């Protein structure tokens, strides 16, 4: 089974009734580092990274670029760089993080639908290898800034291939009416501009990203088909030699038993079949998985606090975190599963709703889950929180962001410090006239 087909990290096990991940007892981690606590299992992370490398090894020119936006921290970047990954980045902050963690900047791609002048300058100065140009405005701006710096930027063109995949509307990006990329009907115009006017842009190929949490391989075959056909057409019509193709990320993960994502190997086979149908002249391929790389390795530990039995209604049990450390349930109605970390022998099961601590009725982490009867002080472990949790976290209600620890071989190390109250006010200033 592929790592992304597991709900729990691959090292998760119960010993004497207690839940362990990476050889570490989760109740002890909660005690030592406090909660809420993000935990990343290194073996699961390296496991999926190696699966991707193995599955795509038939391609000489495969560029595996981790989509940093799923979870961008220095330690995670370092591990993925060690595993041979490049990085797909979308901001100065992500570019700077991967740069400081020692990544090879030639293997970094800068994406996004509204890159600022400052971000483009930083990317050029740090030697980012590819820009995925999203729109006419950006092409002109990038050409100008590169010109001022006496540089030529290697670019891909982000296109919207017009594919509808069955995923949540908010995380679907490849359909025609999308804020991302050039419509297929605009491609000839932008290419003509690049050829004739933008001397500081060097066009290498096309890029698409059709969505996230994708379960249907058909979406990828269709996408690859469109990208190849379009590349061959452009090469003919514009007399070019584009030989790079970025098929984006999006492979799904298993949050609950209802999710059945394909394996990484099946994804590789689908891509390979679609490619072979059209051309033997296989171009350089870029892949940008985010969620499927980091999701399964992450869990979040919370401490149970208050509870409320609504008369003739549900029972709410509250945790010490919620929508500020994991906004996905309130944003996308995302589903998660959880277990009690400690030993629960002898407790009867009961159906409860896990409520967050934040001042929003929508701050509910898990609705109607059967768990051993919870008591205040229990540690709840929520699975598959590695992606789009910390990276989307906020300080709503002026709550400090949790710490993150990396576990491996019974060892645990802090990789992100817990925010302190001082951190929270460290950017505040009171003007003199109010003093």
Q: Mind telling me the catalytic residues?
A: 359
Structure tokens at 400: 């400090």
Q: Where are the alpha helices (DSSP H) in 101-174?
A: 117-125, 136-148
Q: How far is the CB of 125 from ligand PLP (least distance, A)?
A: 23
Interface residue with ligand PLP, options 212, 221, 326, 412 (CB under 6 A): 212
Q: How far is the CB of 52 from ligand PLP (least distance, A)?
A: 11
Q: With contact defined as beta carbons under 8 Å apart, do 194 and 139 qualify? A: yes
What character string, x for contact with ligand PLP (CB under 6 A) and - otherwise, covers 90-129?
---------------------x------------------
Q: Report the residue number, 99 or 110, with the smaller CB distance to ligand PLP.
A: 110
Q: With contact defined as beta carbons under 8 Å apart, do 194 and 201 qualify? A: yes
Q: How far is the CB of 322 from ligand PLP (least distance, A)?
A: 22
Q: Where are the alpha helices (DSSP H) in 244-379?
A: 264-278, 291-294, 328-332
- For residues 390 and 407, give the distance between their C-alpha atoms in angstroms, rounded to a whole number: 17
- For residues 16 and 231, give the distance between their C-alpha atoms in angstroms, rounded to a whole number: 58
Judging by beta carbons within 10 Å of its beta carbon (0-12, 13-18, 19+), is residue 155 exposed, middle or buried?
Answer: buried
Instruction: Enumerate the β-bridge partners of residue 133.
Output: 157
Per the listing, tokens 């729109």 go with 135
- The CA-based diameter of the chain, rounded to the nearest angstrom, is 75
User: Is there binding between residue 88 and ligand PLP (CB under 6 A)?
Assistant: yes
Q: Using only C-alpha atoms, what is the Rg of the chain?
A: 23
- For residues 257 and 372, give the distance between their C-alpha atoms in angstroms, rounded to a whole number: 19
Instruction: Enumerate the β-bridge partners of residue 155.
Output: 131, 203
Task: Mark 404-417 as b/e (b = at least 16 C-beta within 10 Å).
Answer: bbbbbeeebeebbe
Helix H or strand E segment including 224: helix 217-237
Per the listing, tokens 């979040």 go with 300
Q: Report the residue number, 200 or 219, with the smaller CB distance to ligand PLP.
A: 219
Interface residue with ligand PLP, options 6, 8, 63, 69 (CB under 6 A): 69
Q: How far is the CB of 180 from ligand PLP (least distance, A)?
A: 7
Instruction: Enumerate the β-bridge partners of residue 364.
Output: 355
Q: How far is the CB of 419 from ligand PLP (least distance, A)?
A: 25
Binding-site size for ligand PLP (CB under 6 A) equals: 15
Judging by beta carbons within 10 Å of its beta carbon (0-12, 13-18, 19+), is residue 37 exposed, middle or buried?
Answer: buried
- For residues 225 and 271, give the distance between their C-alpha atoms in angstroms, rounded to a whole number: 9
What character string, x for contact with ligand PLP (CB under 6 A) and - otherwise, covers 283-322?
-----xxxxx------------------------------
Q: Which of residues 245-274 bind ligand PLP (CB under 6 A)?
A: 248-250
User: DSSP secondary-structure letter at 172?
Assistant: B
User: Is there binding between residue 209 and ligand PLP (CB under 6 A)?
Assistant: yes
Q: How far is the CB of 251 from ligand PLP (least distance, A)?
A: 6
Q: How far is the CB of 185 from ligand PLP (least distance, A)?
A: 21
Q: Report the residue number, 256 or 307, with the smaller CB distance to ligand PLP.
A: 256
Q: Report the residue number, 221 or 292, with the smaller CB distance to ligand PLP.
A: 292
Q: Report the residue number, 99 or 180, with the smaller CB distance to ligand PLP.
A: 180
Q: Report the residue number, 156 or 317, with the smaller CB distance to ligand PLP.
A: 156
Q: Report the residue number, 161 or 249, with the smaller CB distance to ligand PLP.
A: 249
From the list 282-290, 308-316, 369-377, 391-399, the region that binds ligand PLP by CB under 6 A is 282-290
Q: Report the residue number, 292 or 344, with the smaller CB distance to ligand PLP.
A: 292
**Angle, helices 264-278/217-237, rounded to nearest 10 degrees:** 30
Q: How far is the CB of 87 from ligand PLP (least distance, A)?
A: 11
Helix H or strand E segment including 67: strand 62-67
What character string, x for contact with ligand PLP (CB under 6 A) and - otherwise, covers 168-187?
--------------------
Q: Report the residue number, 136 or 170, with the smaller CB distance to ligand PLP.
A: 170
Q: Which of residues 230-249 bind ligand PLP (CB under 6 A)?
A: 248-249
Q: Cα 373 to the chain's mean position, in Å?
A: 33
User: Is there binding between residue 63 and ligand PLP (CB under 6 A)?
Assistant: no
Residue 19: φ, ψ to 5°: -85, 130
Q: How far is the CB of 138 from ligand PLP (least distance, A)?
A: 14
Interface residues with ligand PLP (CB under 6 A) are: 67, 69-70, 88, 111, 209, 212, 248-250, 288-292
């Amino acid at each position: 089974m592929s790592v992304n087909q597991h709900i729990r990290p691959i090292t998760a096990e119960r010993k004497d009734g207690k839940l362990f991940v990476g050889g570490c007892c989760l109740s002890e981690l909660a005690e030592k580092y406090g909660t809420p606590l993000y935990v990343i299992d290194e073996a699961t992370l390296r496991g999926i990274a190696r699966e991707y490398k193995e599955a795509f090894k038939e391609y000489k020119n495969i560029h595996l670029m981790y989509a940093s936006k799923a979870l961008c921290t220095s330690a995670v970047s370092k591990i993925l760089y060690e595993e041979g990954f490049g990085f797909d980045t979308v901001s100065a902050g992500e570019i700077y993080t991967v740069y400081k963690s020692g990544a090879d900047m030639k293997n970094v791609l800068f994406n996004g639908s509204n890159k600022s002048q400052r971000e483009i300058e930083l990317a050029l100065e740090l030697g980012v290898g590819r820009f995925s140009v999203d729109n006419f405005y950006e092409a002109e701006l990038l050409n100008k800034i590169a010109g001022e710096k006496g540089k030529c930027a290697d670019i891909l063109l982000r296109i919207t291939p017009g594919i509808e995949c069955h995923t949540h509307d908010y995380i679907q990006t490849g359909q025609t009416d999308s804020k991302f990329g050039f419509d297929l009907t605009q491609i000839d115009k932008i290419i003509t501009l690049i050829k004739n006017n933008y001397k500081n842009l060097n066009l290498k190929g096309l890029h698409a990203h059709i969505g996230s949490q994708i379960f249907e391989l058909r979406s990828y075959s269709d996408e690859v088909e469109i990208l190849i056909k379009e590349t061959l057409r452009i090469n003919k019509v514009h007399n070019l030699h584009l030989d790079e193709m970025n098929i984006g990320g999006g492979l799904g993960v298993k949050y609950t038993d209802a999710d059945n994502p394909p394996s990484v190997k099946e994804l590789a086979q689908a891509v390979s079949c679609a490619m072979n149908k059209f051309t033997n002249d296989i171009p350089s391929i870029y892949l940008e998985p985010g969620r499927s790389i980091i999701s399964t390795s992450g869990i979040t530990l919370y401490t149970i606090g208050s509870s409320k039995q609504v008369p003739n209604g549900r029972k709410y049990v509250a945790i010490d975190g919620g929508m500020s450390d994991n906004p996905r349930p309130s944003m996308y109605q995302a589903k998660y599963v959880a277990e009690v970390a400690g030993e629960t022998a002898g407790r009867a099961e009961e159906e409860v709703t896990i409520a967050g601590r934040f001042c929003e009725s929508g701050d509910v982490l898990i609705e109607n889950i059967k768990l051993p009867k919870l008591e205040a002080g229990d540690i709840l472990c929520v699975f598959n929180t590695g992606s789009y949790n910390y990276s989307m976290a906020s300080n709503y209600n002026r709550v400090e962001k949790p710490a993150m620890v990396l576990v491996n071989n019974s060892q645990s190390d802090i990789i992100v410090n817990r925010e302190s109250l001082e951190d929270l006010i460290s950017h505040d200033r009171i003007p003199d006239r109010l003093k």
